Structure 1
């Protein structure tokens, strides 16, 4: 549950739109009214597509899938409204957040959490068959999540929710500046190459599309439904 020390220089509490990485980043930030979890080649894109097709998705289905599910569960436990965001629905997520602020009739704080990827140190050095120490788990920077989180921050800014932390602003400018190269960046990234090697090129290409889904997975009572 997010509970940063009072006055922490890393909680970004002075800003309306905040950004950090992984479960630790969620815990580091000041509690927010809305948490947007961005796991572009994990739950965010996949669940957005299923929700758009009319399905409902239980949170329990995601908690074992990559890292976004665990972050969403922790954010829900804190009492925040939890949304799943990605490149495919960045604009729709911003619309949902703006709608939530209008519903509340008050300034609404937003934490955008880029999931990254938790892997053992052994997996990073290419020796996945060798056991790693229990504490040798590292968060891998994932360019797809940086761009997805930045796209969400950019969409929020374009709707007037632009009091962003430096961390959020940097991700936003990355998404703006590299927007024309997203397809190449995702397919050439570590995550993209891993999916391509597994015969799943279509998944990374689908995840690289910007603003093609109007559905925003919203967590209510342990189930993701349309916002």
Structure 2
């Protein structure tokens, strides 16, 4: 059976959206899951406080799309990292460490989780601008370390972050996801998630638990 033209096989850095991305893309050695509001940022904050986070620890974790992507990624046997705006450079450094440990060229799939739309119960994946920027920040950081053989999809995400980096804080608070959380009284959480490279912690999934890389 011929390989899918959407597999991005020939590229070291690949990018797609949602759980289905794991079936669409060629298998990668490392999968970086990006769910900026709120899964990635919440787990990063917990690890900063010294607490490991079980993937299935709560009903909230199960309902988040990022958790579903991480679970599916773990089933592929890849090293699963959580990334976002807060820890993009640290994630790139962790990928470099994996490549050094492997002693070989390492493929990376950067998966933007997006959000599942509940309108009309259709369960369609909604483009989430915060995840676009989070994925782009990770891809940009990888490029700065020399891991820059990117697919067109990954290159577009990286360039969108670079072009709008100075406006990311405003764009997150003005986005649909950001406004939804702000309306719930969680403005500080949105602002924290928008702080580029404010964290050095990289969550890695080991035996169903996120720990610091």
Q: Which TM-score bucket, shorter chain as reference?
A: over 0.9
- Secondary structure of 1:209 counterpart: coil
Question: Aligned-pair distance for 1:6?
Answer: 4.5
Partner residue of 1:149 out of 127, 132, 135: 135
Preserved contact between residue 39 and residue 61 of structure 2 (Cα < 8 Å): no
| Structure 2: gaps spanning 5 or more residues | none
- Counterpart-to-counterpart distance in 2, 1:187 and 1:98: 32
Residue of structure 1 equivalent to 2:163: 177
Distance in 2 between residues matched to 1:176 and 1:28, nearest whole Å: 26
Q: 1:106 aligns with which of 104, 107, 113?
A: 104
- The structure with the larger Rg is 1
> Which residue is 1:190 aligned to?
176
Indicate yes or no: 2:24 matched with 1:28.
Answer: yes
Give TM-score scaled by structure 1 length: 0.91
> Distance between the aligned counterparts of 1:58 and 1:65, measured in 2?
14
When structure 1 is superposed on structure 2, of 182-191 and 46-55 the one drifting more is 46-55
Task: State the SS of the aligned residue for 2:62.
Answer: coil
Partner in structure 2 of residue 160 of structure 1: 146
Query: Matched residues in 1 for 2:174 and 2:63: separation?
Result: 22
* Structure 1 stretches of at least 4 aligned residues deviating more than 6 Å after TM superposition: none
Q: How many residues align?
A: 211
Match of 1:13 among 9, 12, 15: 9
Match of residue 86, structure 1, among 81, 84, 87: 84
Aligned to 2:181, what secondary structure does the other structure show? helix
Whole-Å Cα distance in 2 between the matches of residues 197 and 26 of structure 1?
Answer: 33
Per-residue CA deviation, residues 185-227 of structure 1 (Å, 9 max, x unaligned), is: 0000000110111111111111000001110000011111010
Number of the residue aligned with 2:55: 59
Superposed CA deviations along residues 57-87 of structure 1, whole A, max 9, x for unmatched, are 0011364242000100000011000000000
